[in-house]
Amino acid sequence: MTTCRRPCQQSYQPRGQSAHMTFRVDRDRLAAAFDTARSDLLAQRNSAGHWVGELCSSPLSTATAISALVLAEQGGTSCGLPAYRPGEEPSHVDEIYRGDLSELIVHSLHWLAQQQNEDGGWGDTDRSRSNIATTMLVRAAFHLTGVPAKYANLLERAERYVEKQGGIAGLKRRYGNDKTFAVPILANCALADMVSWRKVAPLPFELACLPQRWYRLLKLQVVSYAIPALVVIGLARHYHAPSRNPLVRWIRTLARRRCLALLQEIQPASGGFLEATPLTSFVVMGLASMGLSDHPVVRRGIEFLLTSVRSDGSWPIDTNLATWNTSQAITALADEQEDIEPSLDWLLACQCKKEHPYTGSAPGGWGWTDLTGSVPDGDDTAAALLALSNYYRAGDPTRDAKLRQAALAGIRWLLDLQNSDGGWPTFCRGWGKLAFDRSSNDITAHVLRALHAWSGLLQLEKSNPSLSSRISTARRGGLDYLQREQAPDGSWTPLWFGNENHPLEANPVYGTARVVRMYGDLGLGETEAALRGAHWLVGVQLASGGWGAAPGTQQKGGNGEFEACESVEETSLAIEALVPLHAVDGQIASSVEQGVSWLIDAVAENRHHEPAPIGFYFAKLWYYERLYPQIFATQALARASQVASAEPTPVGAVR
């Protein structure tokens, strides 16, 4: 059993008083580690020229998918199979639904049973601690199928865990005022006859009938991406437990037809809303419970679920993060000029060319995948622009013209997304104050890097003064926002990544590293805010040389064993941010050297193929991605190699 080590205890050495400022690492080992990481990452690119990766299987997703399929099968016609329209070609989904659905569900339940933790609960991954949300959804799946008897004490242990966490009150505490996930979870439990429908808060689904541009003014209690859940769970609650107010009942009954039409309009061709299994499952189960198993939205949602199930009976939280992974991989391999053309062409093709039906977003942005359920967002657009910027410098006139056109559209898209507080949100400007709609530190830093990179490359001060002026104004707003958001200890907290071991499940290592990296790119690496952030990173480095969870905490995985708190991902991000500052003072230099040595050892031991659950998906849903440690390690080692090659070998250092 291993536990987290205590952080390095180092005294601060002001600049100019350090005995060594050179980069003391074993350069041969550094070169070997970088070559290994780079080669491994290149080997992950598929034949089409991009990186797909693989999201971990999720007990939460698997539980919701089981519930959705069972309810749809119970309420549908033709033995549960949603009726085909005349002229349609039957697919393999037809065969699964007619013959193998029960076998699939039992297979999936068996997978879930194997994921139960020692405390009786379930986590979001096979490496995660238990949480009340996932455990309640798994219990509901077992109740709906009626098959739990073969798993000894499984439900009894789960019920004890839920009671210990506070039951419904505990679930509501987890999500606070955000009803995005809490209400669908309770609705799933109500469908399994585990709670009363009166315990499920009525969602104002009728507001979805209003023009999309009004949504940000309505102060909804769900975030922008969850409109399908707002509509369907609201409809289901109205169906099963209508309001006692006759006027409200009349309005909601009147709104039903329009809401169902809206769902059809925004459902992507894949059938998966946002390519997300939980969101799609909530839509399917809600409509099926109303006797609408034959509705086209349910039919397409079922096809999505049946085509995305894995061979072991599990489902991931989302189909893939192909665009996000490809953007970051291209950036990590910025010195690779050979055979990169297919990757660039693929990434350019992922840019949205028309208004998006889901959010009403204008053309110019990128989403996280090339699949139809993707929605353009600030983080993925910034990542794509940074990836493309590395190759605009190559001087290929034909390619540069395509890159320039895409960059200008992306820049304008990002500028239009900026909130009035100066920061950048994920999907929609000014939507609301819930977590995934308000401005965030990691996205703001990412956007500022992208705007800065292309502003210089395109020489916008001369070629497009008005756009250059907009970028300057946006930059000032973004920097002011980040300065206000910096914590008293010097750190920044991100939105899209967390750490289960942190007291608040936050990941200030990720957030601080991203912001410090941005300051460096903008030539502000030695400003007070940047150095406070850098020294915070140094201060939380673990004695091993790596970075991970808060000192003194430990993580218990689903297998009952304790795991070390360091991760390749977090260590790589910290190194990437700190390497350019290694000459500032001895404290940072020593920290960087220890971190690089830790990462070199990790690659030598093949630990850069072991992802950590630091991904923080919608509504506190954890995940890990197979390519993250490979991408982040390659990027960090590339930065370290650049610094090492630019310096003379220090006296006494190992080559």
Which pLDDT tens digit goes with each residue over 346-358? 999 999 999 988 8
Q: Helix or strand or coil: residue 436?
A: coil
DSSP structure class, residue 556: E
Give the C-alpha separation, 316 to 256, whole Å: 31
Q: What is the pLDDT of residue 620?
A: 75
- Between CA 182 and CA 59 the distance in angstroms is 17
Are 458 and 412 in contact by the 8 Å Cβ rule? The answer is: no
User: Looking up tokens 């980069």, which residue turns up?
Assistant: 23
Alpha-carbon distance 20 to 16, whole Å? 10
What pLDDT does residue 19 have?
A: 42
Q: Look at strands 615-617 and 562-563 and give their pairing.
A: unpaired
> Is the pTM here over 0.85, yes or no?
yes
- Percentage of residues in the chain with pLDDT exceeding 90? 69
| For residues 341-346, average pLDDT | 92
Q: Which residues fall within 8 angstroms of residue 484, CB to CB, at 6 or more apart?
A: none
Q: What is the CA radius of gyration of the chain?
A: 25
569 in Cβ contact with 575 (< 8 Å): no
Q: What is the pLDDT of residue 435?
A: 66
Closest CA to 614 of 634, 631, 630, 628: 628
Between 486 and 2, residue with greater pLDDT: 486
Region 454-481: mean pLDDT is: 96
Residue 348 is predicted with a pLDDT of: 97
Question: What is the structure's pLDDT at 484?
Answer: 98
Would you put residue 643 in left (φ > 0), alpha (ψ -120 to 50) or beta? alpha
Q: Is the pLDDT of residue 375 over 50?
A: yes
Q: What's the confidence (pLDDT) of residue 511?
A: 96
Give the pLDDT mean for 505-530.
96
Quick check: 174 pLDDT over 70?
yes
**Quick one: pLDDT at residue 615?**
87
Q: How many Å apart are CA 442 and CA 506, to the nearest integer?
A: 12
* Lowest mean pLDDT across 90-104, 150-164, 372-386, 413-427: 90-104
The answer to whether residues 279 and 304 touch, using CB atoms and an 8 Å cutoff, is no
* Mean pLDDT on 137-162: 87
Q: Report how far apart, in Å, the C-alpha atoms of 317 and of each of 314, 554, 615, 628, 655 are.
A: 10, 25, 11, 16, 45
The region, left, alpha or beta by phi > 0 then psi within -120 to 50, assigned to residue 55 is beta
Task: Please indicate whether residue 432 or residue 651 has the higher confidence score (pLDDT).
Answer: 432
295 or 616, greater pLDDT: 295
Question: What is the pLDDT confidence band of residue 440, given thresholds at 50, 70 and 90?
Answer: very high
More confidently predicted of 520 and 80: 520
Give 67's Cβ-side CA count (13 Å radius).
37
Q: For helices 167-175 and 132-145, give the axis angle rounded to 10 degrees.
A: 130
Q: Which residue ranges form the domains of the chain, and what is each CATH number?
A: 27-55+320-646 (1.50.10.20), 57-316 (1.50.10.20)
- Output the average pLDDT for the chain: 87
For residues 275 and 377, is the Cβ–Cβ distance under 8 A? no
Residue 558 confidence (pLDDT) above 80: no
Which pLDDT band, with edges at 50, 70 and 90, does 559 fall under? very low
Residues 233-245, mean pLDDT to the nearest whole number: 94
Q: How is 146-213 classified by DSSP, letter by letter?
A: T-GGGSTTHHHHHHHHHHHTTHHHHHHHHHTT-HHHHHHHHHHHHHTTSS-GGGSPPP-GGGGGS-GG
Cβ–Cβ < 8 Å for 183, 233: yes
Average pLDDT in the 110-135 region?
Answer: 95
SS3 category, 415: helix
Ordered DSSP codes for 568-620: HHHHHHHHHHHGGGTTT-HHHHHHHHHHHHHHHHHHHTTGGG---S-EEETTT
Separation CA 443–CA 445 (nearest Å): 5
Cβ(314)–Cβ(330) below 8 Å: no
Confidence of residue 335 (pLDDT cuts 50, 70, 90): confident
- 461: its two tokens: 């001060």
Tokens 């059809």 belong to residue: 264
